[in-house]
Structure 1
Amino acid sequence: MSSSSETLTYLEFYSGVGGWRYALHAAIERLTRENNEAGDDTPESRLKLKCLGAFDHSDLCNKVYYHNFPPQGNDAEISMYKTKKRKKSSSTKSVSIESLTKKNLEESGAFMWMMSPPCQPHTRQHNNQKEDMIDPRSKSFIHLCEMITSMQQETLPRIIVLENVIGFEESSSCRMFRKALKARRYNFAHFHLNPTQCNIPNDRPRHYTVAVMYESSSHFQIDISQLKNIVHNKMSAWFESVKEPIQYNIDDKTPINTCIDPLQVQDPTSESGVLPLSEFLDAGTDRESLLVLDKILSSNSSWCFDFVTPSDKRSSCVTSSYGRFVRGTGSVIYDRDTKQGSNEMIASILEKIKLVKPEERQFDETWNGMDLKGDLRYFSGMELAKLFGFPTSKGQAGEAQQTFSFPSDCTLKQQWKLLGNSINVIVASKICEVALTLYAEKIGDDGCIRK
């Protein structure tokens, strides 16, 4: 937020294909719509958002990001952090997060930071999970923690939101992050949330951290009455009633919150309201390009497929290796009508491998592959984008949000890889809403902290 307007400014680190940006826009759109139920839904009543910079090491990610959010004129995405040797024409090339200086970040004056640091150092499959601090992929996140520690207090962002894999909260990197937040007087909370809790039929549990600073600062003496009106104190009762209340400035034993009732993020054990996969499938999809190869179907490795149908209300977590490996990379879908004479065979396969996690299966020595030629396919890139909560149509995007698409030359394998590394936009938007609510309910219209 700038000092002279009602514009919420932000920086997006590890921006990928823009998941956090879509999430923040979705949160503001939803809050605005709820606030304007009486009919005062005008452009003037909307809180403006401005991205001051989006940073990712991947040129492919940046290509897709700027396909959906073309850099404008003097935006920071073109000029703020480019090196002396970098020309404007290369604005969509990667910019190293480690190259951002304290001066860069202080001068940006961003109200909010959003980030999804590399998850590989913290995954359960990583052999050296306890050595995440020496993993080269952690270097940029360590740099951001150091920037939080060294920046002038009045220039620090008022809100920081972070996403990573479950297990990140136990890492040395997270301890460093908490230490930096505590040193700069941030209040923070941890969440473990899954898209299924938002009625999305995809299993992708993730860790989230929300950090909010209430420190008075002339740098952020702003009029937030509009934000306060949008928030409308909707979360106060929940904060007082949760079994493990939000706690701040505490040690490594920070409790993990697993639901957000006022935002319809239901208890993780509940499956009510989850939509069937058919709601996320495209009728016009080119099935031939998505079919699982016969040589894979006939191999022993097909035993590891996670098998779903359009009527199912679940699908397994999609990784960046989707389409390249079989085991634990995401579900494949049987979307053909059962063929006459094959009912028994289909039922047998479903009984053996459906709803059973690949890592929990015991291989059947009598298994000789699957006779499902032409019946089993992968999800398309845009179908996965829907499962990940990206707005793929204007109706989903709302009045103030950009729809999501891939550039025409982005291959299917590239689409799978990009989304396998992305965040779920719907869940992340709930986290943004929590952060905005926490800030707005504590700060008065005059910019002062409420006791």
Structure 2
Amino acid sequence: MRVLELYSGIGGMHCAVKECGISYEIIAAIDVNTTANKIYKHNFPESNLMDCGIESLSATQLDEMKIDMIVMSPPCQPFTRVGKKLDAEDIRTKSFLHLLSLLPRLNNCPKYILVENVKGFEDSETCLKLRETLMKCNFTYQEFLLTPLQFGIPNSRLRYYLIAKRSPLKFSFANTTEIMTSLPSINSEENSSSTNATNISQPSTACISDESTRTNDHCKNSSHISSSHHMQSSPAKPAKKKETQHGMLGKSINNSDATDKKSPDIPAATCPICRESCLQSAGYNMRQLSEGEEEEDKYLCRLVQDFLEDQPPEYFQPFMLTRKDLKRFIVMDIVFPCLQKTTCFTKRYGHFMEGAGSIFQMSHSISEMTAASELKDRTLELKNRDQWSDEDYQVLSRLRLRYFTPREIANFLCFPATYNFPQDLSKIQLYRTLGNSLNVRVVSKLIQLMVKEQTSHVQV
């Protein structure tokens, strides 16, 4: 399979093509971002990486490449909820529109196309143009809105995906004009609830750590993991929360005296599940989740701890939050090892706090969590976000809050263990490029679905 990788970034699509198990050759990867290209070349030194604008491509060049598949993740800024949403009028969309103008002119049109973008792209004029172009070129396509949580990965990253294949090729499932929110069921193995519950607790080839980072095993060969991991069983967690004027309030389903805010820390010998439940209850207001994200709790995911680097404390010192960072405590989404979800890591992670990604809490102390939770309640009640006393800072510092490391974020994105970064890049550069990347596992599953041939299903 001759694959053209457009907007190649740090190589997420490359990793996904490799993971999905097809026989492939990346004939070219194209991007203009110098930092991303440096990381790409570091990991794929033999690849034909072209540092040029897609607008410079011609139909003749594409024909000469004899492409079987195009995979791409066009710039998302014209369609993001925090952007100006200029859509087709945004200069960053021009390269994609140029590509769409080339497709009908190709003599050797590709057989397969995969597109990834942010939620919201599906309602854009640019997406409408994409659909029209695909139909003009005799492609059948299917659109999706998927999150890694559906694949057992504890990271919320809802994205738009489109897979297309050119006639006479047909999908192995009955496609529809509606946007699917889960992968279609194409075999009984992926539909088995017991299979899902069993395999989700096993590690995956996409994310096994190497010795250099000593990362825990996670995401091992999960080819049986369905796209819809609904909750079968999980560690004890707080019951359904109810709104108060100060945030989300909930109690542990264990409802034990040990979860009371006045209680001391639970001894180390106490049942780990009870302790996890108490931590969640004590930190009832530490999450920053939208209503939609709360609905995502129905998925059965691996624990955050399975995606962490196993390193000595001094290794994490550069990632600890500063006093300046702690001033933004009110808007942080704080997670700890036993939780099953982190928020989306964006390119602003590491230098912008609100909505940029979860913060990791290294302390396991219930009393320290309780003190911080009470501080947040008081701060919200007083509407005080700027005036912090030394005592307040001490309360927060005891939580030992830190940023997730670039390697850990790469783990959540399911990059393989062999994937690493050039030593001369800063944390901010790494966070920015990772935030612009994609989830390798999700794309890998979509490629597998895209290339699978029709059997007995009827195309509609």
TM-score strictly above 0.5: yes
Which of residues 90, 109, 127 in structure 2 aligns to 1:174? Answer: 127
**Are positions 1:122 and 2:79 aligned together?**
yes
Deviation, structure 1 residue 270: 6.5
Aligned to 2:10: 17
Aligned to 1:144: 99
Cα gap change, 1:140 to 1:175, in 2 (>3 Å): same
Aligned to 2:118: 165
Aligned to 2:405: 380
Cα gap change, 1:22 to 1:140, in 2 (>3 Å): same
Conservation of the 8 A alpha-carbon contact between 1:319 and 1:330: yes
Give the counterpart letter for 1:102 in structure 2. Answer: A
> Equivalences for 1:285-324 in 2 at 5 Å?
286-297=315-326, 299=327, 301-324=328-351
Give the distance between the partners of 2:384 and 2:95, measured in 1 at CA.
49
> Equivalences for 1:400-439 in 2 at 5 Å?
403-437=418-452
- CA displacement, residues 374-397 of structure 1 (integer Å, 9 cap, x when unaligned): 6000000000000001011xxxxx
Please, what TM-score do these two structures have when normalized by structure 1?
Answer: 0.71
Conservation of the 8 A alpha-carbon contact between 2:149 and 2:299: no
Aligned to 2:255: none
- CA displacement, residues 98-156 of structure 1 (integer Å, 9 cap, x when unaligned): 111111101101100000000000011223x2x3111010011001101112212xx01
Conservation of the 8 A alpha-carbon contact between 2:229 and 2:301: no
Aligned to 1:27: 20
Alpha carbon RMSD of aligned pairs, Å? 2.6
* Larger deviation, residues 108-117 vs 63-72: 63-72
Give the counterpart letter for 2:323 in structure 1. Answer: D
Deviation, structure 1 residue 351: 7.7
Deviation, structure 1 residue 352: 9.0
Identity of aligned residues (%): 31
Conservation of the 8 A alpha-carbon contact between 1:214 and 1:442: no
Give the distance between the partners of 1:185 and 1:176, measured in 2 at CA.
14
Conservation of the 8 A alpha-carbon contact between 1:59 and 1:93: no
Give the distance between the partners of 2:443 and 2:143, measured in 1 at CA.
13
Give the counterpart letter for 1:61 in structure 2. Answer: A
Deviation, structure 1 residue 410: 2.0
Give the counterpart letter for 1:123 in structure 2. Answer: T
Cα gap change, 1:310 to 1:187, in 2 (>3 Å): same
Give the distance between the partners of 1:270 and 1:325, measured in 2 at CA.
25
Aligned to 2:363: 336
Give the distance between the partners of 1:278 and 1:351, measured in 2 at CA.
27
Q: Secondary structure at the match of 1:303?
A: helix
Aligned to 1:211: 164
Give the distance between the partners of 2:111 and 2:80, measured in 1 at CA.
29
Deviation, structure 1 residue 406: 0.6
Deviation, structure 1 residue 94: 1.9
Deviation, structure 1 residue 291: 0.5
Conservation of the 8 A alpha-carbon contact between 2:29 and 2:50: no
> Equivalences for 1:355-374 in 2 at 5 Å?
365-366=383-384, 368=388, 371-373=395-397
Deviation, structure 1 residue 215: 3.9
Deviation, structure 1 residue 10: 0.3
**Are positions 1:185 and 2:138 aligned together?**
yes
Conservation of the 8 A alpha-carbon contact between 1:259 and 1:267: no
Give the counterpart letter for 2:91 in structure 1. Answer: P
**Are positions 1:54 and 2:9 aligned together?**
no
Give the counterpart letter for 1:321 in structure 2. Answer: R
Give the distance between the partners of 1:384 and 1:169, measured in 2 at CA.
26
Give the distance between the partners of 1:69 and 1:176, measured in 2 at CA.
33
**Are positions 1:201 and 2:154 aligned together?**
yes
Give the distance between the partners of 2:54 and 2:161, measured in 1 at CA.
20
Give the counterpart letter for 2:340 in structure 1. Answer: K
Give the distance between the partners of 1:363 and 1:164, measured in 2 at CA.
39
Deviation, structure 1 residue 48: 2.7
Deviation, structure 1 residue 283: 1.6
Please, what TM-score do these two structures have when normalized by structure 2?
Answer: 0.70
* RCO higher in structure (CA 8 A, sep ≥6): 1
> Equivalences for 1:244-323 in 2 at 5 Å?
245-247=174-176, 254-260=177-183, 261=185, 262=190, 264-266=226-228, 271-284=298-311, 286-297=315-326, 299=327, 301-323=328-350
Q: Secondary structure at the match of 2:454?
A: helix
Aligned to 1:229: none
Give the distance between the partners of 1:335 and 1:201, measured in 2 at CA.
18
Give the distance between the partners of 2:445 and 2:439, measured in 1 at CA.
10
Give the counterpart letter for 1:145 in structure 2. Answer: L
Give the counterpart letter for 1:20 in structure 2. Answer: M
Conservation of the 8 A alpha-carbon contact between 2:151 and 2:229: no
- CA displacement, residues 81-110 of structure 1 (integer Å, 9 cap, x when unaligned): xxxxxxxxxxx5621111111111011011
Aligned to 2:69: 112
Cα gap change, 1:21 to 1:333, in 2 (>3 Å): same
Give the distance between the partners of 1:21 and 1:363, measured in 2 at CA.
49
Conservation of the 8 A alpha-carbon contact between 2:333 and 2:343: yes
Give the distance between the partners of 2:414 and 2:375, measured in 1 at CA.
30
Conservation of the 8 A alpha-carbon contact between 2:347 and 2:433: yes
**Are positions 1:95 and 2:52 aligned together?**
yes
Q: List runs of 5+ in structure 1 lacking aligned partners.
A: 1-7, 29-46, 78-91, 217-232, 240-244, 248-253, 354-361, 393-402, 444-449
Deviation, structure 1 residue 195: 0.4
Conservation of the 8 A alpha-carbon contact between 1:317 and 1:330: yes
Conservation of the 8 A alpha-carbon contact between 2:28 and 2:50: no
Cα gap change, 1:287 to 1:49, in 2 (>3 Å): same
Residues matched between the structures, number: 345
